Each structure stands twice: as structure tokens, then as C-alpha cells.
Amino acid sequence: MIVRQPFAAVTGSALALALGACAASETGGPESSAAAPDFVARCAALQGRTDDMFGTVESAALGPAEFTGQQFFLPTPIALPRHCEIIGAFPSRDGAQGQKYAIRYHLRLPEGWNGRFLFQGGGGLNGVLGDAMGWTGAGQQPGIVQGYAVVSQDSGHDKQANSDPDWGGEAVFGSDPEARRNYGNGALPVVADAAKTLIRAFYGSDARYSYFFGCSKGGQEGMAFAQRYPDTFDGIVAIAPGMSLPRAAVAQTWDVQSFARLWDPAKGALTPASFATLFSPSDFDLVRQAVGAACDGLDGADDGLIGNFMQCTSARVLSELRKRECGAGNSGACLATDKVDALNRSLEGPHDAQGKPIYASWRWDMGIGSPGWAMWKLGNPQMPSLNILTGGASLPTVFMTPPRAVRGDPQSLLDFQMAFKFPQDADAIYATAPGWPRSAWQDVGMRSADLDGFRKHGGKLIVPHGVSDPVFSINDTIAWRDDVDSRYHGDADSTVRVFPVPGMNHCGGGPATGRYDAFAALVNWVEKGNAPQAIVATAGADTPWPGRTRPLCAYPKMVRYRGAGSIEQAENFECVDS
């Protein structure tokens, strides 16, 4: 475990001594970095510096002039401002299964700094350093281009170096108690403090405002900061937050078993490839027809989006699905009854022995069966189900205590999920054991309604979430927001706003107006006090209606057509009580 002084306790003189400047003597005596006029030299002077607060600066040099890597719907290359690019690491240690672990981070410090700091969240099982570009949504300019100092981090393990085929492949870190804690939340304050320390030393002042932006596991990290490290950030965007990750992994296994009921054992053993064939695209066309017939018009417009999704109940949808079942007077395309039952079982989610949900149920929505939904729930001809690949690896190795060794190939992961016993095996996500003083839920679960510290700090939290998210249920996010509202006697909105995105899959995709600037709304809220009532969103080129706009309404408001004007324009819709 890394032990450091609290960030606020480190003095300016201590920083100057620790970081030095561009002209250190041969004996290592540094000069003040603030006195060094040359940006490149000041950057290079950080190379090799070591301190309890930021570990060791492994490299510090002028960053590239353009970015050509993976990005979010922007023309490439992306021109970058002149900036200092830093790779840092904290001391490594020996861990379980012969693995070595260390927390590493990636920091970019622009010459034209805007006085703000942005922490870029991770994703999945993490284990990658991240590009520290400061992505803030589809089509939005990255934070580094906007002048933010940006950091990303690997959460204490490297998925390339830390991999063991007998322990879920890259999930092997879950077999080490400290590595699991660092993944869940422990690495977050370490990296945030490191970045803030280097920012103060490099620029001679603290950031005026500090922000976090992330989706999925990155959203879970945002929740961790708000709940456990509430003084770290002024504002957080946590999209589709995996705040209930261990429970969601159990739900992934429930999904696998629910759909596997459709497999005919006479055809042989179930494989990941055959699992992907259990529903066809035409099956999902019929599902969406039924969902649309039941719920599309509830918002006043038949437009392929279910704006009033809270009124789209299972009773409404199942009535329409039953009309499309084979043998219900249908002579053409139809749905097998067992497929309707399997889908409904999946969306109901698993329950414990007392009938209480282990995770959450899911919404009926127009994104069900879309490519971004199906790749998780079932897979496709090119790739096995992500519920198998990620859920099958993470549940036994990361989220159960003690961890179970399961081979990381897709068939072994599927076999583990099929052998999982409901509901009793789910108790392991709350268990402790010798050498494991904390459960996976304590390490990784970030679903507390206690935002006392964050509210006292004056922090603001924006939580967009796709209604057709196949990984983390919007019902869980809404229930959490309702818990927050209850805790603060109807005053959740002064701190947190949840923005459902009808049709959107996990972090993006799906038939949705899924391009929006939640980060700009957050900055406006934090710095100007303008709390967002709605965020205008645009449909991308991969949707049936490129360029369509809609207001994303802050829950519990729902979007409704005003009754006149083009249904392609946001101004013809309003946010109303559902």
C-alpha cells in the first residue's frame, strides 16, 4: 500500500525541492522550476524526479504535435498544442501468482494552460496507461486541445504484463488483494494527487478548477471520487457508471444462462459461436416493432425514440410481443415463444432467495437488438459475447472472494457461467476470506447515496446513461438517484443530475441522439452556477436520422413533443413530468 502525505500538506518549498528545474547540478541540487523561462527545458527537468507524492517521473519530454490514435468521431490527425508529456510510476511490488504490480500514470501539461485539471477515466478491466487526451464525448474536442492539464492511469496493473491464461487472462490482478483494491478505487487518489502535485510545481499554482470525465468503469471511478474522495474534484461526468460492477457481472451470467435455454442440446455442446446464433437480426426486428407499437407514441411522437421510457412497461410490451409469436395467427415472420420468454427473463434480472433483485431489471427500449446491444448480450459472427468475455473473466477472478481460477479462453469462461448456481453463488461478491479483509463489493461497488462530503465541497455530478445500455442498467442508476433524493429530502438536484438517453447503448451507439456535450454543461454548472435542465443531443450518421436533435431531460423529467413543428428539431420538444 502506498503511504503519502495528504496533498494539501505538501508545501510549495517542498515541491520546489522535490521537482527542481531545468538546470540541476551534477550533485542533483535543483533550481526552482518557476524560474525556468523555457517550456521545453522545464519539461525535461522533470525527467527522473522522485517524490512520495508522484513516484518517479520515468519520462518527461515535449509531446507530439498531432494525435493519430483511436478517437471519438473527429477528423484525424488532431493537432495538439505544445505540451509536456509525462509518464510516471510508483514503486512496484511483488503480488500473487508471481505478478509484479505498480501504479502508472500519463500526464500532459499544455503550454497554454487554461488553469484547469481533467482526470480521464478508464474502462473495462483497465490495465492500460491511457492516452491522457481528455476525451469529453463524441465529436467534442479533447481536453488537451482546450487547454486542460490531463491525466490518465492504469489503476495499478498492466494487462499485457499482468496476464495469466489460468486466471482469466488479463483478469489475474483480481487474485491479488491490493491490486483489486487499486482497480476498484485505491489508485485513484494516488494518481489525482500526483497530477495535482506536478501541476503545482510546473505552473507555479494549483488548478483553479478540477474535473473528472469517464464512462463505464470510468463512470465507476467518477462515483468513487464523489463518494470516497469528495474533495478531489469540483465537477464529475460519470456516463453509464459501473457503480454496481460486481452485481452487474452476476447479471451478465444470468443473461448467459437465460439465452442459453434456447440452445438445443441435441446439436452438441453450447459454444460461444453457437451462443451468438440464438437470436437472429430478424428476431430483433420483430422485438423492436413490438416495443415501438407499445411505447413509441407515449411521448407524443411516433419517431423511433421512446422519450417517456418510464411508462414503457413490461405489460405493454409483452402484450405486443405475444401478438407476434409463432402460432398466434401469424403466417409470416414470427417470434418463437421461448425467445420471448428468454428475453423477458434476461430483462427481469436475477433475484435472491427472498425475491429481491441481485442487480436490477432493464428497460424495454428501441436499442434492444441493435449491434451495440447484441455484441454484449449474444455476440456476433466476428466476436463472442462480451458478457462471456468480460463477465466470465471478471466475475470469478475479480468479483468473487476468494477468487476462482478460470482459464481465459471463451469456452472456459462460458462453461464457468453455465455452472454458476443462482442465487447462492452470488453471495461471494459480498464475502471476505483469510487474506481478503474486504469484499469485492467494498473494493469496487460505488453505489452509496452518501454524498455528504461532495455536497459540502460544492461538487457537481452529471450522469448520462443510455436507456438501451446492455451492460449497466439505467434502472440501477435511476434507483440510486432516487436514493440520493431521499437522503437529502428531495434536494438531489442541487448536486447530481441524471440524463437518460433513449435508444443509446453502452457509452454510445444505438438508435439515439447520442452526441452531446455533458462536459460543457458541467463546467457551466460549476463555474457559473447554471444547473442544466436539459442537454441538447444530436443523432449521428450511424442512426436512422442523422442530424436529428433532442433535449436530454434531467430525470425525473421526460421529453415530450409539443405537438407542432418538425420532429427532427429539439426546439419542438420539452421536458415534462412523466
Question: Annotated active-site positions, please?
Answer: 216, 469, 506
Q: All 3 cell numbers of residue 160?
A: 499485457
| Rounded CA separation 285/288 (Å) | 5
For cell 518517479, the residue is 56
- The rounded distance, in Å, linking the Cα atoms of 575 and 535 is 11
Contacts of residue 11, Cβ cutoff 8 Å, sequence gap at least 6: none
233: exposed, middle or buried (C-beta count within 10 Å: 0-12, 13-18, 19+)? Answer: buried
DSSP one-letter string for 21-56: -S---TT-PPPPGGG---HHHHHHTTTT-EETTTEE
Give me 285's grid cell: 426486428
| Residue 76 CB-density burial (10 A; 0-12 exposed, 13-18 middle, 19+ buried) | exposed
3-state secondary structure 399-439: HCCCCCCCCCCHHHHHHHHHHCCCCHHHHHHHCCECCECCC
Residue 394 CA neighbour count, 13 Å, CB half:
24
82-85, Cβ contacts within 8 angstroms, sequence gap of 24 or more: 82/39, 82/110, 82/111, 82/112, 83/108, 83/109, 83/110, 83/111, 83/144, 84/39, 84/42, 84/43, 84/46, 84/60, 84/108, 84/109, 84/111, 84/202, 85/59, 85/60, 85/61, 85/132
For residue 499, give every residue at least 6 positions away whose Cβ sits within 8 Å of its Cβ, in sequence order, or none.
462, 463, 464, 465, 516, 518, 532, 535, 552, 553, 554, 555
